[in-house]
Amino acid sequence: MADLINLRRYRKKKAREAAELTAAERRLAFGVSKAQRNADDAAKQKSDAALDGHRRIREDET
């Protein structure tokens, strides 16, 4: 006798697999997550501020 298949579960499983493939492609296409982008921007701003703080001649004094 053949194995019984619940078609509702099968359709949902196929939809989840397709969504995961699409998500993987989009992750590769668009790069890093928003949280990582924000963290990188914050680190760059912090390093820029530290570098600007060590200037000998400030731009507003010239």
DSSP for residue 57: S
Model confidence band, residue 34 (pLDDT cutoffs 50, 70, 90)? confident
pLDDT tens sequence across 46-58 = 999 999 888 887 6
Q: What's the pLDDT at 33?
A: 82
Share of the chain above pLDDT 90, in %: 56
Q: What's the pLDDT at 50?
A: 92
50: amino acid identity, one letter: A
Q: Residues 6 or more apart from 45 whose CB is under 8 A from it?
A: none
Q: Residues 6 or more apart from 40 whose CB is under 8 A from it?
A: 32
Q: What's the pLDDT at 47?
A: 95
